[in-house]
Amino acid sequence: MTKRRQPLISAAMVLLFLSLPPPLLSASDDKEWDPISRFQNYLRINTAHPKPNYTAAVEYLTSFAATIPTLQTTIFYLTTPAKPLLLITWPGSDPSLPSILLNSHLDSVPAEPSKWQHHPFAAHRTGDGRIYARGAQDDKCIGMQYLEAIRELKRSSLDHTPLRTVHISYVPEEEIGGFDGMMKFVETREFQDLNVGFMLDEGQASVSDEFRVFYADRSPWHVVIRARGAPGHGSRMFDGGAVENLMKSVEMMMKFRETSFDLVKAGLAANSEVISVNPVFLNAGIKSNDGYVMNLQPSEAEAGFDIRLTPTADPDLMRRRIAEEWAPAWRNMTYEITEKGPLRDFKGRPLMTATDGSNPWWAVFNQAIAAAGGKLAKPEILASTTDARFLRQLGIPTLGFSPMKNTPILLHDHNEFLQDSVYLEGIKVYEHVIRLLSSFDETSVAKHDE
């Protein structure tokens, strides 16, 4: 079930004000006029797992933020000094109003340079404007675009002053579950004090000319089932062997998978609207020097599955299905379920953000996209998982959005790239989004109830 909330961490433990040596890579000096160069410089900082260089990324962002008047910078160390969380704040004229939070993660998944046309951390820009880099789409683009947009809003003749305070968070560890990043941050008193009314988090590229927007994530479960049975000579046929027991379960799980997948193939549901069950490992057999012992039926066998639950899926039903059908004790089976995050919010509701009239932020967001000359596709559930779930758990309306249209979906792929013109258009989109969200003055918008 839902994880019990940890006691609030005391301010003294987590809050350390900025005191950093001068950055190696400066975002401010000669590149001042060029958002593309600044984006490339950010992409060149290797924050891929397993050894993300968070410190360099935070230094770089901090040095850029320092060139934009009125921005304030705070660094939190929620676990170790190697895993900073950067918060940049643009104070609003009415700090009593719920604030806007723009989130991105500092880390990225690994990349294998030998499989790329251009080195994944060189941020090479081709003649036709493609910027190749790990993180170009997921999600260093939005991290820099937020700042570039605020810079433009400050520079333009309007010199926009937000009514509501705008925060940008740069969190570590998202790609490995967010447990040492956003999950810990939302448990702090400092986070509560931000009084966040609405959050934008990462989305995904769109291959059409409509922007995609996500109102929920699917929630991952890692499930391992294990079977035991009498060992036996390879020549014997007998009932209840471990592999036989395991295969019965695997067949049932694959049948469940087929039923979900048939709905997708028939066009009746999107991939993200069904529960997915995918086998990720099978393990059985007794090793020999040159492979496996062939004349022995093993007494143990196991299989691992990546299961993704839709926001409205019933977790109790799923647990019962696993216990009674997929790994029943009467067939000598055991199982382990690792739930990778919350499934319901603090009021027991599915983790979904309303995309209708009941959510006033939705109307403002739509208005901003229209003002930017953009079109939104039908709101979707994200097939994978982001840090948005930790905010939705608190009842904070959160949308996933990365302004990349007419762009192939390349997150976590080889040769991840983003077109320079798409990146620059995204800055414009955020100028509208940040301007409208931060000046939204409907006082009836309730603070998220605790």
Is 105 annotated as contributing to ligand binding?
yes
Give dist(CA 284, CA 265) in Å, integer.
Answer: 32
Give the shortest CB-143-to-Zn ion separation in angstroms.
Answer: 10
Cβ-proximal residues to 145 (8 Å cutoff; 6+ apart), any chain: 403, 423, 426, 427, 430
Structure-token match 């190697």, residue found: 82
Give the shortest CB-105-to-Zn ion separation in angstroms.
Answer: 6
Give the shortest CB-394-to-Zn ion separation in angstroms.
Answer: 20
Catalytic residue among 107, 217, 420, 431: 107
DSSP annotation of 310 reads: -
DSSP annotation of 9 reads: P
DSSP-based three-state secondary structure for 87: strand
Annotation says 107 is catalytic: yes
Is 233 annotated as contributing to ligand binding?
no
Residue by residue, DSSP assigns 323-389 as IIIIS-GGGTEEEEEEE-S-SB-TTS-BS----STT-HHHHHHHHHHHHTT--BPPPEEESS--THH
**Geometric angle at alpha carbon 395, from 147 and 76, rounded to 5°:** 45
Annotation says 431 is catalytic: no
Give dist(CA 189, CA 11) in Å, integer.
Answer: 7
Nearer to Zn ion, 47 or 260 (CB): 47
Give dist(CA 295, CA 281) in Å, integer.
Answer: 23
Give the shortest CB-104-to-Zn ion separation in angstroms.
Answer: 8
Nearer to Zn ion, 241 or 400 (CB): 400
Nearer to Zn ion, 202 or 416 (CB): 202
DSSP-based three-state secondary structure for 85: strand
Nearer to Zn ion, 97 or 171 (CB): 171
Is 138 annotated as contributing to ligand binding?
yes
Give the shortest CB-91-to-Zn ion separation in angstroms.
Answer: 28
Cβ-proximal residues to 92 (8 Å cutoff; 6+ apart), any chain: 99, 161, 162, 163, 164, 165, 166, 438
- Residue 139 has φ and ψ, to the nearest 5°, of -140, 40
Q: Which amino acid makes up residue 316?
A: D
Nearer to Zn ion, 137 or 249 (CB): 137
Cα–Cα nearest to 42, from 112, 104, 92, 113: 104
Nearer to Zn ion, 91 or 177 (CB): 177
**Geometric angle at alpha carbon 111, from 307 and 309, rounded to 5°:** 15
Catalytic residue among 139, 152, 174, 339: 174
Cis, bond preceding 314 (omega within 30 deg of 0) = no
Is 448 annotated as contributing to ligand binding?
no
Is 202 annotated as contributing to ligand binding?
yes
Nearer to Zn ion, 138 or 302 (CB): 138
Give dist(CA 321, CA 156) in Å, integer.
Answer: 58
Q: Which helix (H) or strand (E) holds 11?
A: helix 11-14
Give dist(CA 383, CA 273) in Å, integer.
Answer: 8
Residues that bind Zn ion (CB under 5 A): 138-139, 202
Nearer to Zn ion, 23 or 177 (CB): 177
Give dist(CA 107, CA 139) in Å, integer.
Answer: 8
Give the shortest CB-149-to-Zn ion separation in angstroms.
Answer: 19
Q: Name the binding residues for Zn(2+).
A: 105, 138, 175, 202, 412
Active centre residues (catalytic) = 107, 174
Q: Name the binding residues.
A: 105, 138, 175, 202, 412
